[in-house]
Structure 1
Amino acid sequence: MNLSSALRYLDQHTNLEATAGRAEGLSLERMSRLVDVLGDPQRAYPVIHITGTNGKGSVARMVSALLVAQGLSVGTYTSPHLEAINERLAWDGEPIDDDSLAEAIAGIAAVEELSGVVPSYFEILTAAAFRWFAEVAVDVAVVEVGMLGRYDATNVADATVAVLTTIGHDHTDGAPGWRHAVAAEKAGIVKPGLTDVLVLGEADDELRSTFTDAGAAATWVRDEDFGVAADRVAVGGRLVDLRTPEARHDEVFVPVHGSHQSDNAAVAVATVEAFLGRPQVDEVVTEAFGGLTLPGRFEVVGRHPTVIVDSAHNPEGAAATATTLAEDITLPGSVLLVVGLLSRRDPEAVLVGLGAADAGLVVVCSPASPRALSTREVAAAAERLGAVVEVVPDPVEALRRALAVATEDDLVLVTGSLYVAGPVRVALREMEVST
């Protein structure tokens, strides 16, 4: 297979990321049979398994950077991608090349019939990642859960260190008791007798026992066993003091915006120290974070006007984005929002979190996904909040409209979904927007 034929093969399989509705009959049976015929490549290396509602992608990139700075060979599996599918599989921070990706997918196609199951799009990519990591002989794999936890395809791997970032309102119907239900599902990545440490970033005391009872040999809790001792806004990011059970790392520059990213940095440092079984050297932490980039996470991609691309997609993420705007950005003008949301989101809650009522303009667009929430519904929610609203369905054209209205002192925030952020990032590279 070349990459085109590999992607055609992928597209012939059910892609739950691209379909709305609930997943029924949750099971790891298909995924278990698929990796079984591959020889269980996910057991060829230790795994750091990361779940959570918000922050897991950022933590995965931070953990990978810290491990690479230690001199380890690191495979990283994340989802979904921002611009190109290659982003999902990385080796030492570099996305897999086209030929290697095609070969990895072809390896799964070759055994699909032998496995006796028809895997999903995500299961194929997950198996391809596990197989590729084994072939290149990584020292450790950093694996981000796609959705769920216990029944996520990635959970055929056994976590040496399991990580939970946060619990929030995403992929849930919001029925009474939803936070405990989500917590129980995500705690399923802990494997009793196999998971050495659970690094718990969720601060809700009411959910604590769900995680401490999951069966890890030890549980490290944020703000108790590790955390952020000090957090200051700096030019281009944050300057933080981080503490772990056995160390303290002071004045670490994290070149990304938002106090929530400082918390993510604390989770990442604790995770790596749990995996290594020892504190990290300050110079290594400084080196790792010094080169850190988080595409699509409150990413400043233009100036005059300032243009920020952010993938906040639920109320908690939206509120974190608004807080980051207030704390990290000096803004003489107005905020103009370009927003597109996926289905099963509460548009009014997300828009409230973003502060849409105070925006100079809200341009509503449609994410490049079959799961896009109708622009009519999002626009109606913005109008109920008293915002000035325009509807421009195409995300790139919505960006152009916001730029046409904005002055040099204004800020254009593109947000709501990775499926909005991705096309806009591509377009901005082709547009005359100063950075």
Structure 2
Amino acid sequence: MTELPPDPAEPARLAQTFAEVEDALLSRWPETKLEPSLDRIQAFTELLGDPQRSFRSVHVTGTNGKTSTSRMIETLLRALDLRTGRFTSPHLEKMSERISIDGEPLDDEGFVRAFNDVAPYTHLVDAEQEHPLSFFETIVGMAYASFAEAPVDVAVVEVGMGGAWDATNVIDADVAVVLPIAVDHEKYLGDDPATIAVEKAGIIKPGSVAVLAEQTPEVAAVLMARVAEVGASVAREGVEFGVAARTPAVGGQMLSLQGVHARYDDVFLPLYGAHQAQNAAVALAAVESFGSGALDDDLVRAAFAEVTSPGRLEIIRRSPTIVLDAAHNPHGAEALAAALEDSFAFSPLVGVMGVMSDKDHEGLLNVLEPHLTYLVCTQNSSSRSMSAATLARTATEIFGEDRVSVVPDLAEAIDRAATLAEAGEAIEVSIGAGAVLVTGSVVTVGEARAMLKGRR
């Protein structure tokens, strides 16, 4: 049944507070409900005066690593004295994190203003289209209008899902970044990487530079076919650029990066894991391609040293150590597992996991089982969250009954895990290096982060 849009005779209600904006946006189609078309967002941005045409852009897609890479690209661009906008999703703790200008999320007042600037046009689109504007389409419009008003020199835009028909794709980006492609969002994108790659390749436009992370042969073939079809230029990880060397270090890792135009040595990246080194190489290649030349060595080192990526192997607390990682599919879990092996020596490592019901929780559990001494199954506050009991049923089959417990309340689950990590001898491991890993969903990690920051 088609949902009736709001009555166009009623003027859009302007918001007074952040909570009112949140309520208005959440009353629209959720991010999980999609109708693959650019019709609504094109109608919306046209009414707004096509703000996305007033700035240059770098567009970022792929299965995992989009937010971290977007943050790195933006940090490098800002180091070049460019005014930046950044659009990322989903948010960890607060909706306004999605729209950043000059590296800072919009404050509450700015977010309200951004909503009110576009609100009068939302009802016009709702009235004319078969389906109303979604939450995601509306916030993309807010972001593009905010970037035009700032005005920014360049926007770094993370795709929400897919590429070709993602609402962000009304931009024609100078640089299209495609991070590694694996399976996620099967319902909408397909169930094999090559099929998904067709959708993600849609952000590569005529005259752009495609910066491609290392891919499987079948995915690479799809992406290169798109490059040839539209006459784009290409920079490929492992051919034109890549990680020349990396060494885990205290607080992160030391890198040597081979860019498209130069090599950069002694680069400290304060993030953990080989996947973040790969993201750094891609980000560097994207910025070199955007500016068409080598960057200053000292600028590159200074920029990467400042990079943060909340909720991505983030140590949020000590004693015991609590690590947050937003891995929510097997591909993300593999990167997390490799980083745990590479950079940490936690024993015991107690997992706290809360997943969304539409995710491959069995795949996640299988990847992480060898790295976790014990698992506390929990859930987050989202209506899409899988119940802790359902997760535990699968976890018990993989971990065994004696390594799994069910604590539906997230705060209690973290406390239980912290107690187990501190009392290592209770699970036959020596005391001293116990830690807690909270993972399984961006929402779970965001809620945990908000709780734990409040306790520090």
TM-score tier by shorter-chain length is over 0.9
Please identify, of 254-263 and 2-11, the stretch whose mean Cα deviation from structure 2 is larger: 2-11
Asked if the contact 1:336/1:412 (under 8 Å) is kept, the reply is yes
**Offset of 1:176 from its aligned partner?**
8.5
**Offset of 1:114 from its aligned partner?**
2.9
Tell me, yes or no, if structure 1 residue 141 matches structure 2 residue 151: no
1:170 counterpart SS class: coil
Tell me, yes or no, if structure 1 residue 213 matches structure 2 residue 225: yes
**Offset of 1:111 from its aligned partner?**
1.1
**Can you list the C-alpha shifts for 1:247-283, whole angstroms capped at 9, x where unaligned?**
0001100000001000000000000000001111111
**Offset of 1:430 from its aligned partner?**
2.5
**Offset of 1:361 from its aligned partner?**
1.8
The match for 1:249 among 257, 264, 268 is 264
Aligned residue runs from structure 1 range 384-403, under 5 A:
384-387=397-400, 388-403=403-418
Aligned counterparts of 1:369 and 1:264: Cα–Cα separation in 2: 29
Aligned residue runs from structure 1 range 161-240, under 5 A:
161-173=175-187, 178-192=192-206, 194-195=207-208, 197-214=209-226, 215-240=230-255
Structure 2, unaligned stretches of length 5 or more? 1-14, 423-431
In structure 2, the CA distance between the partners of 1:231 and 1:342, relative to structure 1 (3 Å rule), is: same
Tell me, yes or no, if structure 1 residue 426 matches structure 2 residue 450: yes
The match for 1:85 among 83, 90, 95 is 95
Asked if the contact 1:396/1:423 (under 8 Å) is kept, the reply is no
1:150 counterpart SS class: coil
Structure 2 match to 1:364: 377
Tell me, yes or no, if structure 1 residue 410 matches structure 2 residue 410: no
Count of aligned positions = 423
Aligned counterparts of 1:86 and 1:327: Cα–Cα separation in 2: 34
Aligned residue runs from structure 1 range 290-309, under 5 A:
290-309=305-324
Please identify, of 388-397 and 133-142, the stretch whose mean Cα deviation from structure 2 is larger: 388-397
Asked if the contact 2:212/2:237 (under 8 Å) is kept, the reply is yes
Structure 1, unaligned stretches of length 5 or more? none
Aligned counterparts of 2:454 and 2:22: Cα–Cα separation in 1: 26
The match for 1:280 among 295, 301, 307 is 295
**Can you list the C-alpha shifts for 1:72-114, whole angstroms capped at 9, x where unaligned?**
0000000010011111000111111111111111122111233
Aligned counterparts of 1:103 and 1:48: Cα–Cα separation in 2: 25
**Offset of 1:409 from its aligned partner?**
2.3
Partner AA of 1:125 in structure 2 = I
Structure 2 match to 1:66: 76
**Offset of 1:316 from its aligned partner?**
1.0
Aligned counterparts of 2:447 and 2:265: Cα–Cα separation in 1: 38
**Offset of 1:322 from its aligned partner?**
1.1
In structure 2, the CA distance between the partners of 1:394 and 1:137, relative to structure 1 (3 Å rule), is: same
Please identify, of 291-300 and 322-331, the stretch whose mean Cα deviation from structure 2 is larger: 322-331
RMSD between aligned residues: 1.6
Aligned counterparts of 2:258 and 2:231: Cα–Cα separation in 1: 21
Please identify, of 292-301 and 372-381, the stretch whose mean Cα deviation from structure 2 is larger: 372-381
Aligned counterparts of 1:57 and 1:342: Cα–Cα separation in 2: 19
Aligned residue runs from structure 1 range 114-129, under 5 A:
114-115=124-125, 116-117=128-129, 118-129=132-143
Aligned counterparts of 1:324 and 1:370: Cα–Cα separation in 2: 31
Aligned counterparts of 1:237 and 1:188: Cα–Cα separation in 2: 34
Aligned counterparts of 1:368 and 1:344: Cα–Cα separation in 2: 15
Asked if the contact 2:350/2:373 (under 8 Å) is kept, the reply is yes
Structure 1 match to 2:428: none
Aligned counterparts of 2:453 and 2:354: Cα–Cα separation in 1: 20
Structure 1 match to 2:20: 5
Q: TM-score, normalised by structure 2?
A: 0.90
Aligned counterparts of 2:378 and 2:148: Cα–Cα separation in 1: 41
**Can you list the C-alpha shifts for 1:209-268, whole angstroms capped at 9, x where unaligned?**
211121252111111110000011111101010012210001100000001000000000
Aligned counterparts of 1:249 and 1:358: Cα–Cα separation in 2: 33
Partner AA of 2:71 in structure 1 = R
Q: TM-score, normalised by structure 1?
A: 0.94
Asked if the contact 1:364/1:392 (under 8 Å) is kept, the reply is yes
Aligned counterparts of 1:185 and 1:401: Cα–Cα separation in 2: 42
Aligned residue runs from structure 1 range 304-315, under 5 A:
304-315=319-330
Tell me, yes or no, if structure 1 residue 374 matches structure 2 residue 398: no
Partner AA of 1:311 in structure 2 = A
Aligned counterparts of 2:19 and 2:385: Cα–Cα separation in 1: 25
Tell me, yes or no, if structure 1 residue 107 matches structure 2 residue 122: no
Aligned counterparts of 1:357 and 1:273: Cα–Cα separation in 2: 39
Asked if the contact 2:96/2:111 (under 8 Å) is kept, the reply is yes
**Offset of 1:39 from its aligned partner?**
0.6
Tell me, yes or no, if structure 1 residue 37 matches structure 2 residue 47: yes
Asked if the contact 2:38/2:166 (under 8 Å) is kept, the reply is yes
Asked if the contact 1:304/1:409 (under 8 Å) is kept, the reply is no
In structure 2, the CA distance between the partners of 1:419 and 1:216, relative to structure 1 (3 Å rule), is: farther
Asked if the contact 2:418/2:435 (under 8 Å) is kept, the reply is no
Aligned counterparts of 1:267 and 1:171: Cα–Cα separation in 2: 23
1:251 counterpart SS class: strand
**Offset of 1:173 from its aligned partner?**
5.0
Asked if the contact 1:51/1:145 (under 8 Å) is kept, the reply is yes
Asked if the contact 1:227/1:242 (under 8 Å) is kept, the reply is yes
Aligned counterparts of 1:348 and 1:260: Cα–Cα separation in 2: 22
Asked if the contact 2:214/2:238 (under 8 Å) is kept, the reply is no
**Can you list the C-alpha shifts for 1:13-32, whole angstroms capped at 9, x where unaligned?**
11124x6xxx3x41100010
Partner AA of 2:280 in structure 1 = A
Aligned counterparts of 1:79 and 1:173: Cα–Cα separation in 2: 19
**Can you list the C-alpha shifts for 1:121-167, whole angstroms capped at 9, x where unaligned?**
01110000000000001000000001111110000111110000111
Structure 1 match to 2:286: 271
2:268 counterpart SS class: strand
**Offset of 1:177 from its aligned partner?**
6.4
Partner AA of 2:302 in structure 1 = E
In structure 2, the CA distance between the partners of 1:263 and 1:160, relative to structure 1 (3 Å rule), is: same
